[in-house]
Structure 1
């Protein structure tokens, strides 16, 4: 079973996750203060303040980075070079492979690409320092 851990502020990541779990049946866990991570999985978050990692996501990674196989971030292409930058920062700071970035709540193409990446490159695999760089 694939586990997804996600943080959503405006609902974009939540909508993306809802579509993914509807298609796959994977387990999704919203990042909250009382979340206790028992199973390794994949992080999906958002980028805030023109390129920053959200505080809740940062705190989650400080506690559970060793259980995260990959990171994906939503963003807005209007932010230019800061698009989805939270994923880049998390990837670099915690040595977690970057799976992909998507805009707002993602398109069906984004959702299918994400599912394909997770199924074929990170399904129950051990995390290493290898960077996917598919984004």
Structure 2
């Protein structure tokens, strides 16, 4: 399982760097240059939100090609946007029928980073168990 992420301003890159997650999972950065690429394995998406709660266009294009491998989503935003805070995660959850693991502000607090690691670890373990049990 990979962690695919889009970091428009660098906040998500900083968030993930603070988690230590790349010691356990491969990171895949979505960029303008690879937004149309196909990835070969299941992934959790971590994305920013822009404007009034929108999904970044780069992420939309990436998901058009890779939504069949999307397992879950986490989203970043700014609480100043009120009800639109990190709303891109809600849109992706609803459109692709995947769990929204969490929302976090900007580059996240230490407790949000820890929460993300726990949720990803628990999610990974439960999906591995389901695979084994389905065989």
TM-score range, shorter chain: 0.7 to 0.9
Q: Comparing both structures, which one devotes a greater share of its residues to helix? A: 2
Query: What's the TM-score, normalizing by structure 1?
Result: 0.85
Moved more, 34-43 or 96-105: 34-43
> Does 2:24 align with 1:39?
no
CA RMSD of aligned residues (A): 1.7
Q: What residue is the counterpart of 2:92 in the other structure?
A: 90
TM-score by length of 2: 0.85
SS in 1 for 2:19: helix
Give distance in 2, aligned partners of 1:22 and 1:70: 16
Give the conservation status (yes or no) of the 8 Å contact 1:99–1:117: yes
Q: Give the corresponding residue for 2:132.
A: none
**For 1:22 and 1:65, how far apart are their aligned partners in 2?**
22
- Unpaired runs of 5+ in structure 2? 129-135
Q: After TM superposition, where is structure 1 displaced by more than 6 Å over at least 4 residues in a row?
A: none
CA distance in structure 2 between the aligned counterparts of 1:65 and 1:18, rounded to whole angstroms: 25
What SS does the aligned partner of 2:76 have?
strand
Aligned pairs, number = 125
* Residues 2 and 44 in structure 2, CA contact (< 8 A), matched pair in contact too: yes
Q: Distance in 2 between matches of 1:76 and 1:123?
A: 30
Larger Rg: 2
